[in-house]
């Protein structure tokens, strides 16, 4: 009789809090996203982790920004000396005009100040426009280390590489500076509180043998394709990745998935219906983070839009916790921390009457 060896797999030993509350781009419901002020506010509000997106400058420095084009979240358009850098590019098939991180040096980025992306929806945050610089990844890691020491708790960082294949095609690897920054901060080890995420499987497969921190495959709209696979002519969609066979494949190079919330539960004629995704992922020992939970009614499923402005985010978070998710990524960490804490305590205070 032959003994079948288990297939090679990638398993990290994380100290992650479960279920975790992850502040999306910092406490971005209250302050301009991806600023040290927004991250610090999130930590003060009790978030277990902060989430940040990374792009590269022309000189290869990782910046905390959600997209390559900078004018939606900074005052770059107000700098006459940078006007000549305005251009049009095709990023993953989408034609975009503006100022791109990969055309600016770090010295030029240092002159910019952050702006609220959703100014009409979040006027309180927009009141902080012009106050905060654009941080580098290195500066975020330094701040998180300081906050962890000051607060006596280890604060996690969930890093998302934005468009790594596109960036590499411009001659700017995101993988190399990421690995270098993590190693310089002593954060590349199996009990690190850093997690690396991206929508692009090829970047995670590249990182798997290089890093010891947990890796998360992000899953977007089911009918769309990861940009790297599309560029390679690979027909797989996110639906294929989210299938049981796709999850088994993800388990070979990653430790978890990060699913758009509509992949986990959705509104069907006023009733919330759960998919099998959490169960299927857990069967492969993959953790499940869900994004993005926002308090404004426009971003919530219809059954939770009970008020005109902010809906019942706590109720929606509780539903997702009932489904067994491992992390909730949110613009409003205070609301979700309260819901998570109430959910965790609930069974222990019940009496058997």
Task: Look at strands 62-64 and 49-56 and give their pairing.
Answer: antiparallel
116 binds, among ligand G3P, Ca ion, none (CB under 5 to 8 A by kind): none
Cβ closer to ligand G3P: 36 or 293? Answer: 293
Q: Does 53 bind ligand G3P (CB under 6 A)?
A: yes
Catalytic site residue from 34, 66, 261, 332: 66
Q: Which of Ca ion, ligand G3P, none does residue 291 bind (CB under 5 to 8 Å by kind)?
A: ligand G3P
CB of 64 or CB of 82, closer to ligand G3P: 64
Q: Does 36 bind ligand G3P (CB under 6 A)?
A: no
Q: Could you give the CA distance from residue 198 to residue 287 in angstroms, rounded to a whole number?
A: 15
Q: Which is nearer to ligand G3P, 76 or 293 (CB)?
A: 293
Token readout for 281 is 């992922």
Residue 291 Cβ, how far from Ca ion at the closest point, in Å?
Answer: 7
Contact set for ligand G3P, span 211-270 (CB under 6 A): 218, 258
Is the CB of 275 or the CB of 292 nearer to ligand G3P? 292
Q: Tell me the helices (H) and strands (E) count for the chain, helix number first.
A: 13, 13
List 39, 291, 304, 316, residue binding ligand G3P (CB under 6 A): 291
**Least distance (Å) from Ca ion to the CB of residue 180?**
21
**Other residues' Cβ atoms within 10 Å of the Cβ of residue 79:** 15
Beta-carbon contacts of 283 under 8 Å, excluding residues fewer than 6 positions away, are 244, 247
CB-based closest residue to ligand G3P: 291
What x/- string results for residues 60 through 99 when contact with ligand G3P is judged by CB under 6 A? ------x---------------------------------
Q: Minimum Å distance from CB 14 to Ca ion?
A: 19
Compute the distance between CA of residue 62 and CA of residue 101 in angstroms, rounded to an integer.
10
160 touches ligand G3P (CB under 6 A): yes
Dist. CA 140–CA 53, nearest whole Å: 11
The partner residues of 96 in beta bridges, in order of sequence, read 89
Among residue numbers 98 through 127, which ones bind ligand G3P (CB under 6 A)?
none
Choice from 211, 213, 277, 329 touching ligand G3P (CB under 6 A)? 329
Output 24 or 305, the one with its CB closest to ligand G3P.
Answer: 24
- Measured from the CB atom, is 82 or 157 closer to Ca ion? 157
CA separation (Å) from 226 to 162, 203, 230?
Answer: 12, 11, 6
Give the interface with Ca ion as residue ranges (CB under 5 A). 53, 160
CA torsion angle for 7, 8, 10, 13 (degrees, to 10)?
Answer: 80
Using the rule CB under 6 A, is 296 a contact of ligand G3P? Answer: no
**Residue 66 annotated as catalytic:** yes
Q: Are 246 and 257 in contact (CB under 8 A)?
A: no
Residues 6+ apart with CB under 8 A from 202: 164, 165, 228, 229, 232
* Position closest to Ca ion via CB: 160
Query: Using CB distances below 5 to 8 A depending on partner kind, what does residue 296 bind out of ligand G3P, Ca ion, none?
Result: none
Give the ranges where 136-290 is alpha helix by DSSP (H).
137-151, 164-169, 175-184, 201-207, 227-231, 238-242, 244-250, 277-283
- C-beta of 53 vs 116, nearer to Ca ion: 53
Pairwise CA distance, residues 226 & 220, whole Å: 8
Please confirm, yes or no, whether 343 is among the known catalytic residues: no
Nearest approach in angstroms of CB 20 to ligand G3P is 12
Q: Of residues 24, 34, 128, 289, which has the active-site annotation? A: 24
Q: Which residue from 48, 49, 51, 116 is in contact with ligand G3P, where contact means CB under 6 A?
A: 51
273 sits in which H/E element: strand 271-274
What's the CA dihedral at 182, 133, 81, 122 to 10 degrees?
Answer: 120
Q: Which residues of 55-67 are buried (b: 16+ CB within 10 A; e: fewer)?
A: bbbbebbbbbbbb
Which residues are at the interface with ligand G3P (CB under 6 A)?
24, 51, 53, 66, 160, 197, 218, 258, 291-292, 329
- Which residues are catalytic, by number? 24, 66
């Amino acid at each position: 009789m032959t003994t079948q060896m288990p297939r090679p797999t990638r398993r990290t030993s994380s100290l992650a809090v479960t279920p975790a509350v992850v502040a999306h781009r910092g406490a971005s419901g209250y302050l301009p996203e991806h600023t040290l002020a927004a991250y610090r506010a999130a930590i003060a509000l009790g978030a277990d982790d902060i989430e940040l997106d990374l792009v590269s400058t022309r000189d290869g420095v990782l910046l905390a920004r959600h997209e390559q084009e900078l004018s939606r979240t900074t005052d770059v358009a107000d700098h006459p000396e940078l006007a000549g850098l305005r251009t049009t590019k095709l990023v993953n098939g989408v034609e975009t005009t503006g100022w791109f991180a990969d055309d600016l040096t770090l010295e030029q980025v240092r002159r910019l100040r952050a702006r609220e992306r959703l100014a009409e929806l979040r006027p309180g945050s927009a009141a902080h426009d012009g106050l905060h610089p654009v941080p580098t990844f290195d500066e975020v890691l330094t701040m998180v280390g300081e906050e962890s020491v000051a607060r006596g708790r280890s604060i996690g960082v969930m890093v998302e590489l934005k468009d790594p294949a596109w960036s590499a095609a411009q001659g700017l690897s995101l993988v190399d500076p990421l690995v270098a920054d993590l190693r310089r901060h002593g954060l590349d080890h199996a009990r690190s509180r850093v997690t690396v995420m991206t929508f692009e499987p090829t970047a995670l497969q590249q990182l798997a043998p290089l890093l010891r921190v947990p890796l998360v495959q992000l899953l977007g709209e089911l009918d769309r394709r990861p940009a790297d696979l599309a560029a390679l002519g690979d027909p797989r969609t996110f639906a294929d990745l989210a299938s049981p066979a796709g999850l088994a494949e993800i388990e070979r190079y990653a430790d978890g998935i990060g699913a758009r919330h509509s992949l986990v539960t959705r509104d069907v004629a006023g009733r919330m219906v759960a998919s099998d995704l959490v169960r299927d992922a857990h069967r492969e020992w993959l953790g499940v983070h869900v994004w993005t939970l926002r308090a404004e009614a426009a971003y919530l499923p219809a059954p939770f839009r009970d008020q005109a402005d902010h809906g019942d985010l706590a109720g929606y978070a509780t539903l997702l916790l009932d489904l067994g998710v491992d992390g909730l990524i949110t613009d409003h960490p205070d609301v979700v921390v309260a819901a998570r804490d109430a959910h965790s305590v609930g069974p222990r205070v019940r009496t058997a009457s």
